[in-house]
Structure 1
């Protein structure tokens, strides 16, 4: 049951079943423990993750590669990278799952130099990286702006290790080039991909065009996005903002008309989770269904008033441009 809930992204139910299992005096095995720790990681439930780590030590479970990699991933996802590294270095045996977990954690928290150092260390230990490892490395290079290092690792992946790039690898490289302003190179890479570029790849290029104010390539990306995701308001909104910044109001009006004709409306963002007193709460922008709705909005109103009193009110023009 725990494994089934976890595989279907119902992590809170997985934790509930585990607690019921403990209350009945049933001792879990290593696989179950690793699954529950992974559920804590996905929920960002640090306190419950710590309890699982303590449970492992109190019951003298072996810190094997499965439990170890799950703990590394949990601590990293919950923002406690130091503990993740402590667990990693305590492992007697380290397989690719362990290396992937620690590289992912370092990359997620922006430690690109450390990612490259650990990757080199892994290679020296004669472990051959896989596509997931390279994805972590490329993501680190992307967020740090390490263009040359990213190019080299992408080339090593394809030539040295004969790993065929997946859409995620291409996406990282497009993101790397786009952030650096190398929009022509990003567009060329997209056109020469071995797989069909998806909306994420084109959206990444569009975001780079917004950052570097390149309307010409932005229109190319937007045309592809209109085919792939004709009802996605985010792409339209981004292009509207770019035209507005260039005072091209006729284009702004044209896109808004197109949105209206297609019935495209802005949608709220996805939901998020927060842990409060060991209980997980789900919330989202525009949320009107949370049981503590009135109390939450009351606090938000107070915070909004305090921000305005201190001169921290957001600029109104941003809301005008986004009001499609």
Structure 2
């Protein structure tokens, strides 16, 4: 032992000022946890290198996790490759980072490297690996991972088995998912929910509902998944019933129900649910807002759409590409093109949906030249068009009667952009040619189609025949339409009108008799919406269910008189002919 007499008191200050490794480690850890920018992340790693902490598995684990948060997996790889002996936690962070940053193949390669380094995996290793297998649809690798799970003693881990249920379900292997689920010694609510989701994904809603009813406990996610399943299948009534029965609803529940109504064209109901949601103090998110704005667009609820836009601004919503494109579309469809353009030009970022919405808005309002110029501007900004873009472009040509421009654009779809021609593109082109009176050209185009022409195609041709009074081609179109939609009275009615216009009453009588023999009745009348005092009112022809119908019917004779004074002559229809 050293004598106390040899102790030099002058060395005390030097000892006190030496950095404490534990303090340094805590400081770097705090830096990593509080990283709010890439610059701060780089600074934290510089501190690790400076203090030789770049070999500390705990800190490198934290650093890799932070890198994946900023989607800088390249930074994580660089730090990982500098390590001499990474432990299982570092490998797990690296595998999880690859999955999170959409590099599933690299995650699988990292696992192979981990095995070669003789580092034993944990349950967290496998949960990330299974997600990687799902991303690349690697059934064989997934089966191998399942064997590793069994060999390493993790076959009883609930969250690992739950990940396997999701994996096999994503590949359409419901039987495999069921086997994993049945063999689980313990099942929590997440395992049950994954199995319900697997049945819905396979289209087996009845089985999903039975499993749902068997669940010992349910969470909100389970209810949401089942409601969404019914919504996707168009079973609105069952989705409604579940939604009403839910003990607790979160933002996803409300948004799912709003989306359900919107997808099934029940836009007024979607808006009513949104109103109920906000009155219950539930704040919508960006997805909800975009869906509700889209519902306003479909029924022309401009005032309500303006209110929702104002609500988004007042509540700090970022007008991103999703809400932005929905607003552009809503204002255009509601007749407020100036507001639509204002939203478009104010957006900081514009994706393809924004461009498509503004081009369609200009086209629908008859601004064909402006729509085509906007398309040119989109090309200059290096935004690649898709099939939907060209439907708007061709519609613009149709509105303006730009036949040669339309032909050129139609050919460029495949020649310049390698976009496969779809029925919608042919429909626009047939409509353009038919309205221009080029009925033979339109018929030739239909006969050259590489896809089966549908009722919209033949209907466009028939509309052109009506406009240009071509009974020969009209009869051909109607014959095709009656094969596709044998009980649609509209096509018969249009042909009857054409024969009536040229006083061929014998043909009119024949068609009417044929309709009677086939049991074809007039279609249900179309309906219209009008927005008054923040309420949406729906009207149908001859409908007396609306509270104001008696007042409306009292005004009709007066309106009829004013139309006659103005010289309006109504077009005869089959119904008018008796």
Q: Do the two structures share a fold, i.e. TM-score over 0.5?
A: yes
Looking at structure 2, the residues matched to 195 and 32 of structure 1 have their Cα atoms a distance apart, in angstroms, of: 36
Looking at structure 1, the residues matched to 333 and 427 of structure 2 have their Cα atoms a distance apart, in angstroms, of: 22
Q: Indicate the residue corresponding to 1:246 in structure 2.
A: 502
Alignment equivalent of 1:108, drawn from 339, 364, 367: 364
1:95-174 pair list within 5 angstroms: 95-174=351-430
Alignment equivalent of 2:462, drawn from 180, 188, 206: 206
Query: Does the aligned pair in 2 maintain the 1:69–1:97 contact within 8 Å?
Result: yes
SS in 2 for 1:283: strand
Classify 1:46/1:257 alpha carbon distance in 2 versus 1 (closer, same or farther; 3 Å). Answer: same
1:56 aligns with 2:312: yes
Higher relative CO (CA 8 A, sep ≥ 6), structure 1 or 2? 1
Q: Indicate the residue corresponding to 1:231 in structure 2.
A: 487
Looking at structure 2, the residues matched to 227 and 322 of structure 1 have their Cα atoms a distance apart, in angstroms, of: 26
Point out the structure with max Rg over C-alpha: 2
Query: Does the aligned pair in 2 maintain the 1:3–1:14 contact within 8 Å?
Result: yes
Query: Does the aligned pair in 2 maintain the 1:243–1:252 contact within 8 Å?
Result: yes
Query: Does the aligned pair in 2 maintain the 1:240–1:321 contact within 8 Å?
Result: no
Q: Indicate the residue corresponding to 1:302 in structure 2.
A: 558
Query: Does the aligned pair in 2 maintain the 1:241–1:321 contact within 8 Å?
Result: no
Query: Does the aligned pair in 2 maintain the 1:237–1:322 contact within 8 Å?
Result: no
Q: Once structures 1 and 2 are overlaid, which stretch shifts more, 258-267 or 88-97?
A: 258-267
Classify 1:64/1:301 alpha carbon distance in 2 versus 1 (closer, same or farther; 3 Å). Answer: same
Query: Does the aligned pair in 1 maintain the 2:493–2:573 contact within 8 Å?
Result: no
Looking at structure 2, the residues matched to 87 and 320 of structure 1 have their Cα atoms a distance apart, in angstroms, of: 45
Looking at structure 1, the residues matched to 357 and 574 of structure 2 have their Cα atoms a distance apart, in angstroms, of: 42
Classify 1:313/1:178 alpha carbon distance in 2 versus 1 (closer, same or farther; 3 Å). Answer: closer
Q: Indicate the residue corresponding to 2:288 in structure 1.
A: 32
Q: Indicate the residue corresponding to 1:314 in structure 2.
A: 569
Q: Once structures 1 and 2 are overlaid, which stretch shifts more, 15-24 or 99-108?
A: 15-24
Looking at structure 1, the residues matched to 531 and 478 of structure 2 have their Cα atoms a distance apart, in angstroms, of: 38
Measured after TM superposition, the shift of residue 321 of structure 1 is 8.0
SS in 2 for 1:318: coil
Q: Indicate the residue corresponding to 1:41 in structure 2.
A: 297
Measured after TM superposition, the shift of residue 286 of structure 1 is 2.2
Query: Does the aligned pair in 1 maintain the 2:497–2:573 contact within 8 Å?
Result: no
1:323 aligns with 2:545: no
Query: Does the aligned pair in 2 maintain the 1:268–1:286 contact within 8 Å?
Result: no
Classify 1:197/1:22 alpha carbon distance in 2 versus 1 (closer, same or farther; 3 Å). Answer: same
Measured after TM superposition, the shift of residue 2 of structure 1 is 2.3
Looking at structure 2, the residues matched to 161 and 27 of structure 1 have their Cα atoms a distance apart, in angstroms, of: 42
Q: RMSD across aligned C-alpha pairs, in angstroms?
A: 1.9
Q: Once structures 1 and 2 are overlaid, which stretch shifts more, 62-71 or 255-264?
A: 255-264
Classify 1:206/1:6 alpha carbon distance in 2 versus 1 (closer, same or farther; 3 Å). Answer: closer
Measured after TM superposition, the shift of residue 127 of structure 1 is 1.0
Classify 1:28/1:252 alpha carbon distance in 2 versus 1 (closer, same or farther; 3 Å). Answer: closer
Looking at structure 2, the residues matched to 123 and 150 of structure 1 have their Cα atoms a distance apart, in angstroms, of: 17
Alignment equivalent of 1:283, drawn from 539, 543, 547: 539
Q: Once structures 1 and 2 are overlaid, which stretch shifts more, 298-307 or 99-108?
A: 298-307
Q: Once structures 1 and 2 are overlaid, which stretch shifts more, 74-83 or 213-222?
A: 213-222
Looking at structure 1, the residues matched to 495 and 299 of structure 2 have their Cα atoms a distance apart, in angstroms, of: 34
Q: Deviations over 1:106-140 (max 9, x none)?
A: 11111111110000110111111000111111111
Measured after TM superposition, the shift of residue 313 of structure 1 is 5.9
| Matched residues, number | 322
SS in 1 for 2:526: coil
Query: Does the aligned pair in 2 maintain the 1:244–1:321 contact within 8 Å?
Result: no
Query: Does the aligned pair in 1 maintain the 2:430–2:442 contact within 8 Å?
Result: yes
SS in 1 for 2:572: helix
Looking at structure 1, the residues matched to 560 and 554 of structure 2 have their Cα atoms a distance apart, in angstroms, of: 10
Measured after TM superposition, the shift of residue 33 of structure 1 is 1.4
1:88 aligns with 2:319: no
Mark the runs of 5 or more structure 1 residues left unpaired by the alignment: none
1:218 aligns with 2:474: yes
Looking at structure 2, the residues matched to 248 and 21 of structure 1 have their Cα atoms a distance apart, in angstroms, of: 58
Mark the runs of 5 or more structure 2 residues left unpaired by the alignment: 1-256
TM-score normalised by the chain length of structure 1? 0.93
SS in 1 for 2:531: strand
Query: Does the aligned pair in 2 maintain the 1:68–1:87 contact within 8 Å?
Result: yes
Alignment equivalent of 1:183, drawn from 439, 442, 446: 439
Looking at structure 2, the residues matched to 320 and 41 of structure 1 have their Cα atoms a distance apart, in angstroms, of: 33
Q: Indicate the residue corresponding to 2:105 in structure 1.
A: none
Classify 1:161/1:321 alpha carbon distance in 2 versus 1 (closer, same or farther; 3 Å). Answer: same
Looking at structure 2, the residues matched to 7 and 237 of structure 1 have their Cα atoms a distance apart, in angstroms, of: 30
